[in-house]
Structure 1
């Protein structure tokens, strides 16, 4: 087997981490609980004898930032696929597969979102190695993430059969709490974190069969793209791709989906509450970064890029000061941040987004 090509999917906007995450510098380019940014950590965990140089797919506006951040940690991408506009994960995945197939249709590729955390890199490598054989035969192998709590914000995969690699029986999108509690107790179920391993040509075959419009647009965009050094600016045909997730377009409809369990210490750091959970906290449960002080306060997250922040006599708040914006919200209401972003947009304060 040749080396696996990692694909770093870096198109996310990270809206629920506003005002830290913004259009010019979304969350994957920030350090959240570690020494490196999320995209740097993602690239570093996909290095070693098993892997080739990575391919990055991101917004055209972020190509230079992605290259610079990877260079900081000694990673030189084989290619940066620059999207002229976002078209969701189906088009991005197909474009990555088309690029891989242009090099070798039998090349194995592993797709990873560039804005997640993985605590156990050895376990990640073991899961990828376990799925290689099935991927070589044409299966699209998902890494089924071991659930650690009854999450209602994630999709679930149900596997069937025996062995380390099992066929996917069904997908369940964002169940209610009672159902999620049942799933966590059932070893057949795992979280769907959108990580999968495939042979480039096999994935393209399924894309052409199940999502022909997206496949035509993404393949034409790769074929008609402009190459300059490591940068491949995808052609205008990419704009013709439907705005649809790869799960909906392909994974939930294919009969080639398999799943391998991956107990890797995964977290998506999707909102301020999730970041609080992952952060070091003081004896009162406060997570403080920058010039922040908590007095008679508990369960708060405070983060500032300069101005001093003092919390006094409050509980369970998020206070973020970032590049001229102050956000104050409840830690237990992540949806409020999305509503705030919508309100800022409606107010016409686009410079804050």
Structure 2
């Protein structure tokens, strides 16, 4: 008997605002080559490629259609369907669109955000194989990332009883915790980070939606029934899709369903959610500096330590500084202390407010 093929579902609708100024609405972080020569989207497609996997289903923002197709073509990963959302409605509706596009039957769907790093792909594949026996029985499976810090920016998963080797029942999901709670969960040894990667049968997911969040199922089914199709591109009906609740898969399904399992895995995972996170996984020189640019000689650092520098064109020179993040893209330059890169969102909000207050000159 031939092993069941797995359909990769790549979620590529995010905006990646925390990686401004390189990540922008027209060119979000998954479309950028941040950690390798390939873009984040291309790396995601590449880790679910081969005999075990079917052609991917990609869910993306409609404005990025050409870019997604171009990058996937360059990576040799032609999608079986490119679902183009008219608006963002969070992960639960996006995955519903993919499950419906897959036929809503017994296909196994491997749901992956397009903007994460997985350093150990072999470990990831081993975790997938460990999960498949339960998946075929209708379980909803998530992958728990082995934690190495009391991270307050992630959700956590408490690992329950073992169901089979390498797979456990989810005892509970934990929202982003305060530091003291994260420290205790790390010390306990029975918690993992929630990495947002899932594996389940299309029909099992849709049945769970019907039970726990039927509004999503109704809206997405209508949006797909009325969708416009152009080749592999699928344009869900905008009015129907807009009626869908805006919920994450965790809130809509995973926290409520009974047969939910977790595969704890150490696979070099990082969600690259900030410039600090990117610095942490980048190669550094002898002084702890990480710098990468498009073009030789664009970054020069003298008597400089523990800095992260990126440029897509303009030359950046640093002398006698420490612990800085410097990112130059187009006409924008970001300079901040290391450790404060989560505050980029505040900066963007301030720029938006400043733009609103500018009155045209007469």
Classify the TM-score, shorter chain.
over 0.9
> What secondary structure is seen at the aligned counterpart in 1 of 2:60?
strand
Counterpart of 2:302?
Answer: 295
Map 1:1-353; keep pairs closer than 5 Å: 1-102=3-104, 105-162=105-162, 163=164, 164-236=166-238, 237-290=240-293, 291-348=298-355
> What secondary structure is seen at the aligned counterpart in 1 of 2:143?
strand
Are the equivalent residues in 2 in contact too, given 1:210–1:253 (CA < 8 A)? yes
Q: Deviations over 1:94-150 (max 9, x none)?
A: 111121234xx0111010000000011111111111111111111100011111222
Counterpart CA distance in 1 for 2:56 and 2:187 is 36
> What secondary structure is seen at the aligned counterpart in 2 of 1:53?
coil
Q: Deviations over 1:175-221 (max 9, x none)?
A: 22232223223342111011110111111010111111111111211
Please report the TM-score for the alignment, with normalisation by the length of structure 2: 0.93
CA shift, 1:3, in A, is 0.6
Counterpart CA distance in 1 for 2:247 and 2:335 is 33
Counterpart CA distance in 2 for 1:136 and 1:173 is 28
Are the equivalent residues in 2 in contact too, given 1:329–1:336 (CA < 8 A)? no
Mean CA deviation greater in 172-181 or 249-258: 172-181
Counterpart of 2:360?
Answer: none
Give unpaired runs (5+ residues) of structure 2: 357-362
Counterpart CA distance in 2 for 1:11 and 1:230 is 17
Counterpart CA distance in 2 for 1:336 and 1:176 is 18
Counterpart CA distance in 2 for 1:342 and 1:166 is 41
Counterpart CA distance in 2 for 1:309 and 1:263 is 36
Counterpart CA distance in 1 for 2:318 and 2:213 is 51
> What secondary structure is seen at the aligned counterpart in 1 of 2:10?
strand
Are the equivalent residues in 2 in contact too, given 1:58–1:81 (CA < 8 A)? yes
Q: Deviations over 1:291-317 (max 9, x none)?
A: 111222211111111111111222211
Counterpart CA distance in 2 for 1:50 and 1:131 is 14
Counterpart CA distance in 2 for 1:165 and 1:3 is 20
Please report the TM-score for the alignment, with normalisation by the length of structure 1: 0.95
Mean CA deviation greater in 199-208 or 217-226: 217-226
Are the equivalent residues in 2 in contact too, given 1:6–1:55 (CA < 8 A)? yes
Counterpart of 2:359?
Answer: none
Structure 1 moving runs of 4+ over 3 Å? none
Q: Deviations over 1:205-246 (max 9, x none)?
A: 101111111111112112211111110111121111122211
CA shift, 1:335, in A, is 2.8
Counterpart CA distance in 2 for 1:161 and 1:178 is 25
Are the equivalent residues in 1 in contact too, given 2:81–2:101 (CA < 8 A)? no
Q: Across the two proteins, how many residue pairs are aligned to each other?
A: 347
Q: Deviations over 1:283-338 (max 9, x none)?
A: 21111122111222211111111111111222211111102111111121123211
Are the equivalent residues in 2 in contact too, given 1:81–1:234 (CA < 8 A)? yes
Counterpart CA distance in 1 for 2:222 and 2:4 is 26
